[in-house]
A = this chain, B = another copy of it.
């Protein structure tokens, strides 16, 4: 279950809608397919894609195959995003600034020209 498969699976609005429904709780294929103007086999295929991507898991209860969210793949996405968070996350900027403060605690006044926004590749983003 690769990032490839996971991102690919998420690139479809039907599949994201299915996930959104599953966030409310485990349910059956028939139930899942109701909101969509497409055949059941089509939904079934979407579920297979989601399953292969590690985004859902399927159980078995009599003739139903209840689907539920499988957190691992979502966590993988989140972990991948971690490498880029510094590009968009405000709170990271604050953490970044805070860490810098700690680092330069001794130099009381020196650090004021934080205008050199060279976040480009400094060590600031490392974990």
The residues of A with any CB-CB pair to B shorter than 8 Å are 1, 3-5, 7-8, 10-13, 16, 19-20, 23-26, 54, 57, 69-72, 74-75, 77-78, 80-81, 83-85, 87-89, 120-121, 123, 126-127
**Set of chain B residues within 8 Å of A16, measured between Cβ atoms:** 3, 80
Is B77 a contact partner of A77 (Cβ separation < 8 A)? yes
A3, A10, A23 — most chain B CB neighbours (10 Å): A10
Q: Which of B1, B74, B127 contacts A88 (CB 8 A)?
A: B74
Count of chain copies: 2
Which interface residue of A1, A13, A84, A123 has the most chain B CB atoms within 10 A?
A: A84
Could you tell me if B77 and A81 are in contact, using CB atoms closer than 8 angstroms?
Answer: yes
Contact A19-B84, Cβ < 8 Å, known A4-B12, A7-B10: yes
Question: Do residues B121 and A23 form an inter-chain contact, with CB atoms below 8 A?
Answer: yes
Shortest CB distance A83–B (Å): 6
A126 to chain B: which residues have CB within 8 Å? Answer: 57, 70
Give Cα A75–Cα B5 distance, bound, in whole angstroms: 21
